[in-house]
A and B are shown apart, each in its own frame.
Chain A
């Protein structure tokens, strides 16, 4: 039974050899760079991956992926690879490249390099095993890093697009001077409410609005957190000197508001949008007068 001291030495020796083995196989992969890269690019086309890109583009990207791959093997650190993966993803996602393609090409490269190692060390089975012991965990970690980087970038882009869609779906309309209408349609989540508030406050500032009609006729229900956000929106608008009239309050939503402690008596609410606009105009000092119908043939 090896003592602790001996065990430590053996482990150290093993680690030492892993590092030197990695150095050895990295040297081999660098030396074989041209052939292996070409082999890989060929396999990519054969597997019908990256069809959205031209042969030249594939070759160019293949070169940098190969170099980054080998560098990660050599240094054993993955931050640079992660950054590269996100960078690469940012470039190719708009081109329509999908997750399975990215995972596919990285695994193909892993296999191409592994085969090359088999070929080199086929005479010495033990040596091959030791080389693979060093290579396989590193190669798998690289595959994981690249795949995760790609997926994270995709998720980021999707979030950005969702944000853009949300902005489009909460329009702030200026109907008259100093009067804004904010019709909200559909179910609102906390993210959307926050965006709503920001758009509204900016709108009040830009349009110098003194009254805002917040119409929630099209909102079927809201939960307490969203109800709180709504109340905060009304309060924030007031800080900018604008009066908020809430219209289209369903009995359910009214109940939710009461449940979270809102004094509906203090909130300015009107039944429907039409009524809300009229109230707003009244507050602004407008008076809507029905014009008399002019009989035909007479001049004004």
Chain B
């Protein structure tokens, strides 16, 4: 199962469509890592809205993705974790610690924008 990866500005967006086997996850990891270097992306968003299960293997792979991408100078955000999936993950003891997570694609992009502007940037008041 191929995961479609789109380029949006300086970001790559990988949208998971359905349940992924271990092989699919590994393939996604490798493809993202190669693509980040190739297009010189500054940020990667992995949209897992369609995942109904995130188990220990998926968590480990997502952590690997974030780690390897950071080594290439880019930031990873995992978005769209479903409430019941999050619940199961924490019960299992999986925390995705050290990796940015956002509610959805919109929030993920906003996060990367803020991060990209670096320290010292004024945070504008929301209305």
Taking a contact as CB atoms closer than 8 A, the residue among B90, B107, B124 that contacts A235 in the complex is B90
Task: Identify which of B79, B87, B125 contacts A241 (C-beta below 8 A).
Answer: B79
Distance (whole angstroms) from the CB of B108 to the closest CB of chain A: 8
Interface residues of B in 77-104 (CB under 8 A from A): 79, 81, 83-84, 86-87, 89-91, 95-96, 101-103
| Contact assessment for A201 and B86 in the assembled complex, using a CB-CB cutoff below 8 Å | yes
Question: Which residues 249-284 of A sit at the B interface, judged by CB distance below 8 A?
Answer: 284
Which one of A177, A238, A240, A286 lies within 8 Å of B83 (CB-CB)?
A240
Report yes or no: B126 in contact with A177, Cβ–Cβ below 8 A: yes
Q: Are A239 and B107 in contact (CB under 8 A)?
A: no
Q: How far is the CB of B11 from chain A (nearest CB, A)?
A: 17
Count A interface residues, CB 8 Å: 24
Q: Output the nearest chain A residue to B95 by Cβ-Cβ distance.
A: A235
Given the complex, which residues of B lie within 8 Å of A235, measured CB to CB? 90, 95
Asked whether A240 lies within 8 Å of B81 as measured between CB atoms, the reply is: yes
Cα A202 to Cα B96 with chains together (Å): 20
Q: Are A239 and B101 neighbours in the complex by a CB distance under 8 Å?
A: yes
B123 proximal to A (CB < 8 A): yes
User: In chain A between 185 and 200, which residues have their CB closer than 8 angstroms to a CB of chain B?
Assistant: 197-198
In the complex, chain B residues 58-93 whose Cβ is within 8 Å of any chain A Cβ: 79, 81, 83-84, 86-87, 89-91
A286 lies within 8 A of B125 (CB): yes
CB contact between B126 and one of A198, A233, A238, A286 (< 8 Å): that residue: A286
Is A204 in contact with chain B by the CB < 8 A criterion?
Answer: yes
Shortest A208–chain B CB gap in Å is 6
B103 touches A201 (CB 8 A): no
Contact B103 A242, beta carbon cutoff 8 Å: yes
Question: Chain A: residues with CB nearer than 8 A to chain B?
Answer: 177-178, 197-198, 201-202, 204-205, 208, 210, 232-233, 235-242, 284-287
Query: Can you identify 28 A-B contacts, CB atoms within 8 angstroms?
Result: A198-B87, A201-B83, A201-B84, A201-B86, A202-B83, A204-B83, A204-B103, A205-B83, A205-B103, A210-B103, A232-B90, A238-B95, A239-B81, A239-B86, A239-B95, A239-B96, A240-B81, A240-B83, A240-B86, A240-B101, A241-B101, A241-B102, A241-B103, A241-B107, A285-B123, A285-B124, A285-B126, A286-B125
Residues of B within 8 A of A (CB): 79, 81, 83-84, 86-87, 89-91, 95-96, 101-103, 107, 111, 123-127
